[in-house]
Amino acid sequence: MNRKQKILELAKKMGIIRPRDVEAEGISRMYLHRMYKKGEIERIGRGLYVLPQSINNESFSLAEVSKQIPNGVICLISALHFHELTTQIPHKVWIAIENKKWEPESQYPPIEIIRLTGSAFSFGIEIHKVNNVTTKIYSPAKTVADCFKFRNKIGLDIALEALKETKNNRKATVDELWEAAKVCKMTNVMRPYLEAIV
């Protein structure tokens, strides 16, 4: 297998590759740059490359942001969209980072950052493969609780729709929703809505 084929296989396997991934295979990053110049591979951001056909994938932005911000967790409207719990189409990738962490300088895709601490950050993280990229996404129950927590930012209507869809599609039990509400300190806010759906 020649260098070009190796790079294409690597991009197919990993979804998004960086020059250091190519170098780990014993290939100079110069070959990656040549392939980009010839249009055989696409550059989607600084040091991020993909196969041209993968760019049209709807979940591609999630994979890209996860590669850029590996310690972040996909949240709010982006997580709702991933779990098919909203009619909203996110125009940004919503990502949670720990309160004291640095703020990424991503230009594309556009991102919206929320900051969380302690168990509010670490609770309910699921690991999914999105375009072959390991991606952290909050569970449906945690996402619903976050939607209530950030209802002033995203709108109460979205939080209510998410709660209804989660219940109707059996994506989380009432106990799981209640547990997430406790972690997010949203029990008083969510109680009447949870009682209404039981």
pLDDT tens string 62-104: 888 888 888 999 999 999 999 999 887 778 899 999 977 666 6
pLDDT for residue 56 is more than 60: no
- So what's the pLDDT on residue 103? 67
pLDDT of residue 108: 67
β-strand 42-45 against 48-50: which pairing, if any? antiparallel
Orientation angle between helical segments 29-37 and 3-14, nearest 10 degrees: 90
- Identity of the amino acid at 61: S
- The domains of the chain are located at 3-56, 60-197
**What proportion of the chain, given as a percentage, has pLDDT over 90?**
44
Q: What is the pLDDT of residue 143?
A: 96
How far apart are the C-alpha atoms of 111 and 92, rounded to whole Å? Answer: 5
| Higher per-residue pLDDT: 126 or 133 | 126
CA distances, 41 to each of 4, 52, 123 (Å): 10, 6, 37
Which pLDDT value is given to residue 42? 81
